[in-house]
């Protein structure tokens, strides 16, 4: 499962980000909740925009339910730990990836699905990095998320292949390179998907 994700991503999460995450666990959890909520919204948006694609409707419906369940679970952890769920500015990560999405309708869907696969793959990779270093409750929770996040990664990629008229490997490579740049470059804000702490 993780081997496939490491093969897909160009780089591992830098140690400096992991160290910062351990120092800023409240921020990490708040932004994790935001990420789950955004993931569910993305899946729902795809369902509304592509009503004639049954394979997409089925996969995104399942994904949205799972992401909302994860959101609920993170909110429960926040409550247990007396961490207030405050508004955080979004990271540059997803918006920077989306800047490269084509404005041509057919390619736009494929690109959006590739970006979804990248976000899920990076989430999975970070859960795996963090889980052994966290307290028992969070460690169990993050290890538990690995299976569903890796499945989401595969679902997005499979759908991208299904709806593309051409081989997607070259397009995937373009996005993977951009993603690695975001992960390995200096970042002013710490978030779940941020780069190296400035």
Angstrom distance (rounded) from CA 151 to CA 130:
19
% of the chain surpassing 90 pLDDT? 94
pLDDT profile of the chain (198 residues), mean per 10 = 93 98 98 97 97 97 97 98 94 95 94 97 97 97 90 96 97 98 97 97
Which of 134, 129, 148 lies closest to 70 in space, CA to CA? 148
Q: What is the pLDDT of residues 1-10, one digit of tens each?
A: 789 999 999 9
**Beta carbons of 97 and 182 less than 8 angstroms apart:** yes
Which domains are seen in the chain, by residue range?
A: 14-193 (1.20.1260.10)
pLDDT attached to residue 149: 85
pLDDT of residue 147: 85
What is d(CA 42, CA 36) in angstroms, rounded to the nearest whole number? 10
pTM (global) more than 0.85: yes
């Amino acid at each position: 499962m993780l081997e496939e994700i490491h093969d897909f991503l160009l780089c591992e999460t830098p140690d400096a980000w992991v160290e910062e995450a351990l120092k800023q666990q409240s921020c990490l959890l708040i932004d994790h909740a935001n990420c789950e909520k955004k993931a569910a919204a993305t899946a729902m948006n795809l369902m509304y925009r592509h009503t004639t694609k049954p394979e997409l409707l089925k996969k995104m419906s399942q994904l949205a339910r799972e992401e909302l369940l994860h959101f609920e679970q993170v909110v429960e952890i926040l409550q247990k730990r007396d961490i207030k769920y405050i508004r955080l500015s979004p990271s540059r990560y997803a918006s920077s990836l989306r800047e490269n999405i084509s404005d041509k309708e057919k390619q736009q869907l494929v690109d959006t699905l590739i970006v979804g696969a990248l976000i899920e793959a990076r989430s999975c990779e970070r859960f795996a990095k963090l889980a052994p270093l966290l307290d028992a409750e969070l460690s169990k929770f993050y290890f538990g998320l690995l299976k569903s996040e890796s499945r989401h990664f595969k679902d997005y990629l499979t759908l991208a292949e299904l709806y593309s008229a051409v081989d997607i490997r070259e397009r995937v490579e373009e996005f993977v390179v951009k993603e690695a740049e975001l992960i390995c470059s200096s970042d002013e804000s710490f978030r779940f998907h941020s780069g190296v702490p400035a």
